[in-house]
Structure 1
Amino acid sequence: ISDYGKSEKVIGIAAVKGKGWNIGASEWGNKFNALFKGNIQEIRVARKALTEKEWLVQDARDDEPFEGSNKALPFLMNKKNYNFLFVPDTQKYSSQNPEIFNSQMNWISNNTKKNNIIMNTFVGDIIDSDLEKQWQNSLGAISLLDKKDVPYMMAAGNHDYADGDPFLTHYGPQRFLNKTYYKGSSPSGYSSYAIAKAGSYEYLVLIVDMKNLHKDLEWSKKVLDLHKDKPTILVSHDIIFPKLKDDKTLAVESSNGRLIWNELVKYHNQVFMTVNGHYFGIAHRVKQNAAGNDVIQMLVNYQTNYRGGNGWLRLVEFDEKKNVLVFRTYSPFVDEMSKKEKSYIDYKFLTGEYNSFKLDWDFKNRFNFK
């Protein structure tokens, strides 16, 4: 199964300059990087793509690489509930599969109101490399949100920084000035915050930039100090990463994540959730702050999966009546496919324990910041 979309011509496999083609390894910064885990039994070289009948292994497939469902599942269990949506790293869509990016943004623009989505937040790495085509691919998709006046905020990732600050040119403060939910940006222009009402509360979404983290710390603290009464979701590109131990995925904080926790989360009781991308994979944990209250930390990044992420988005449904948060992973791109187009790993909902889960959440007690 090709990882690439209609827009990308696959020419070969990864190469390191002066060392030929790599089979079973990838290239990163012109060095070998681990990719393949397993055994290669036989290698054949052909002058063209082979038909299925010519494949060495017939009906080749992984053993259930994902747990998923193509059933119609609700996004709201109660019409009074509401969602926050997070867009994982989109870099492979900007570089290889813009049709997936367009599908995501089209769905968000047409379904935000219907599914009571309060804020759509990008976790960073909007593009893969600083090429004008990739910026334009991202702009073509994200502009769909502006046309429908859909609320969204954007964090930058390490792939978004380049000479001349193209991220600020395309997605800096000027883009959000006329949006009522947007409340301001840091002096660097990369960090920002928004306020949006939902249910019984006014929520604050704080973007803390990865590259300008130290520079923007004091500004971020001031924002939090001015809004101690508002439940806050903090989004930055680099906070936690997944670590496998005894076949279980654990969430571990990075050095940036440790600084964010100590300076912006631990003693700011209103911060109840952090979300990031950057690291390959998914993970979440619940950690206690200095007041002994729960803080949910979540990593969502599918870029190393099929088609660079297959269009999966992360939604969190807030149910104040039942005191629960419901986490879902959904792909509008797969949802739009016909049955014939779907491969055995195309699911519109991912259902494994790290992609679909619930957390008990006592709203009144947790959001009482007095």
Structure 2
Amino acid sequence: MKDYRFNRFVLLCFVCFLFVGSYAQEAQYTPPQLSDPESWSLVLMPDPQTYVKFERNQGALELMTGWISEQIEPLNIGMVLCTGDLVEHNDWLNPNGTQANQPGKKQWEAVARAFNRLDGRVPYIAATGNHDYGVKSIEYRRTNYNHYFPVDKNPLSQKLLRDVGIDNDGYPSLTNATYEFTTPHGRKLLFMVIEFAPRDTVLRWALQTVNQEKYAEHTVILLTHSYLNSNSEHIVKEGYPITDGNYGAAIWEKLVKPSKNIQLVFSGHIGKPDDVLGHIGFRTDTNAGGKHVQQMVFNAQALGGGWHGNGGDGWLRYLEFMPDGKTVKVKTFSPLFAISPTTQHLAWRTAAYDEFSFELDK
């Protein structure tokens, strides 16, 4: 009888320990919120390709865009940006089950469906990455992007559209475009997206566009795919079969540095299996107008199990633009971890490289 009572006591203590531990984890969790109710925010989504190359992972991407949709008012979300590689395989018809278990068409349908949750609710812009061209990775410069993300897919994005560049076949394409946005604080922004490894003709078009007199007072935010590596260096060269591409160093020298109003550059592309630091980078330089250019690479595709894992553990970033018109606070958050009290204690990444602030010049 004594042993029985002792065992019951031990079991009761263990259950209490689990309950208290679970309660403590739940109590520690604070959902995302603005630090100032007058702020507005921009959401940065990393490369979605691994969420859609395996059918089993698509729910995570749907959860991310669903969470963004729910947070439009609480976080006063004004824009959503995606760093590209929307799919893993643009034109692959017969996936082998290891690199992917569904063809490119299904991958495009999956990513477009996930973004449907934002259509008519918040404007968004998605860059094109190397995997969005060719069969598997830019063997040629044809992409299915324009078919699955047409100009009228999201009327709120269409309303902001101002300039459209030309694709490799000579046709107007949203792979190179600008969108004009005025912040709640009255600052005029011009979002510019350019294709993966942009051609010289695209960089010339981009520089001419941002240098137009009508954009002289705008702050330009550039979105592209391949730009910085994990050492926060401009990427000089990559081994893709195209011969007319420009990577980070050339984009800096031919477009960003000569500009007078580009102040922010966002990119993705890089990754290392289950290594946060292999997916991120940040640096500040000065453009020809004497403005500081804040350059951020953010990705997550090989977190959560590597290249064939769950797609990136649901990580995204939201940037809070403060009412002073210059301070920007960066937070790194996972709606996937946040959805359950069991994992909510994992939903924030708070290291100095994941939670920080910077300032824009006036």
* TM-superposed deviation, 1:123: 0.6
Alignment partner of 1:219: what SS? helix
Mapped pair 1:241 → 2:241: no
Q: What does residue 321 of structure 2 align with?
A: 318
- Identity within the alignment, %: 24
Q: What does residue 270 of structure 1 align with?
A: 261
- Residues 123 and 154 of structure 2 are in contact (CA less than 8 Å); yes or no, is this contact kept in structure 1? no
Q: Which residue, 243, 252, 270 being the options, matches 1:261?
A: 252
* TM-superposed deviation, 1:200: 2.5
Q: What does residue 113 of structure 2 align with?
A: 140
Alignment partner of 2:314: what SS? coil
Which blocks of at least 5 consecutive residues in structure 1 are unaligned?
A: 1-68, 244-250
TM-score by length of 1: 0.72
Q: What does residue 17 of structure 1 align with?
A: none
- Residues 127 and 223 of structure 2 are in contact (CA less than 8 Å); yes or no, is this contact kept in structure 1? yes
- Counterparts of 1:352 and 1:99, CA distance in 2: 28
- Counterparts of 1:184 and 1:291, CA distance in 2: 22
- Counterparts of 2:189 and 2:354, CA distance in 1: 24
Alignment partner of 1:141: what SS? helix
- Residues 197 and 226 of structure 2 are in contact (CA less than 8 Å); yes or no, is this contact kept in structure 1? no
* TM-superposed deviation, 1:174: 4.9
- Residues 321 and 327 of structure 2 are in contact (CA less than 8 Å); yes or no, is this contact kept in structure 1? yes
- Residues 190 and 221 of structure 2 are in contact (CA less than 8 Å); yes or no, is this contact kept in structure 1? yes
Off by >6 Å, runs of 4+ in structure 1: none
Alignment partner of 1:221: what SS? helix
- Residues 70 and 348 of structure 1 are in contact (CA less than 8 Å); yes or no, is this contact kept in structure 2? no
Mapped pair 1:92 → 2:90: no
Mapped pair 1:215 → 2:187: no
Q: What does residue 148 of structure 2 align with?
A: 170
- Residues 314 and 334 of structure 2 are in contact (CA less than 8 Å); yes or no, is this contact kept in structure 1? yes
**Quick one: structure 1 residues 196 and 228, their matched pair in 2 at CA, closer, same or farther if it must change by over 3 Å?**
same
Q: What are the superposed Cα offsets for residues 303-333 of structure 1, whole Å, 9 maximum, x if unpaired?
A: 1111221111111111133852211111112
Q: What does residue 351 of structure 2 align with?
A: 352
* TM-superposed deviation, 1:290: 2.9
* TM-superposed deviation, 1:70: 6.1
Mapped pair 1:116 → 2:76: yes
- Counterparts of 2:39 and 2:164, CA distance in 1: 29
Mapped pair 1:191 → 2:169: no
- Residues 330 and 349 of structure 1 are in contact (CA less than 8 Å); yes or no, is this contact kept in structure 2? yes
RMSD of Structure 2 on Structure 1 (CA): 2.1
- Counterparts of 1:294 and 1:153, CA distance in 2: 23
**Quick one: structure 1 residues 70 and 301, their matched pair in 2 at CA, closer, same or farther if it must change by over 3 Å?**
farther
Which blocks of at least 5 consecutive residues in structure 2 are unaligned?
A: 1-26, 91-103, 136-141, 168-172, 237-246, 272-278, 305-309
Q: What are the superposed Cα offsets for residues 31-60 of structure 1, whole Å, 9 maximum, x if unpaired?
A: xxxxxxxxxxxxxxxxxxxxxxxxxxxxxx
Q: What does residue 295 of structure 1 align with?
A: 293
Larger CA deviation: 184-193 vs 320-329 = 320-329
- Counterparts of 1:270 and 1:112, CA distance in 2: 28
- Counterparts of 2:267 and 2:311, CA distance in 1: 17
Q: Which residue, 27, 41, 48 being the options, matches 1:83?
A: 41
Say which structure is richer in strand. 1
* TM-superposed deviation, 1:338: 3.8
- Counterparts of 2:28 and 2:163, CA distance in 1: 40
Q: What does residue 31 of structure 1 align with?
A: none
State the one-letter code of the partner of 2:179. Answer: A
State the one-letter code of the partner of 2:349. Answer: L
Q: What does residue 9 of structure 1 align with?
A: none
Say which structure is richer in helix. 2
* TM-superposed deviation, 1:236: 0.4
- Counterparts of 1:257 and 1:70, CA distance in 2: 40
* TM-superposed deviation, 1:162: 2.7
Q: What are the superposed Cα offsets for residues 10-30 of structure 1, whole Å, 9 maximum, x if unpaired?
A: xxxxxxxxxxxxxxxxxxxxx
Q: How many residues align?
A: 283
Q: How does 1:2-17 map to 2 (within 5 A)?
A: none
TM-score by length of 2: 0.73
Alignment partner of 2:162: what SS? strand
- Residues 105 and 144 of structure 1 are in contact (CA less than 8 Å); yes or no, is this contact kept in structure 2? yes
- Residues 279 and 301 of structure 1 are in contact (CA less than 8 Å); yes or no, is this contact kept in structure 2? yes
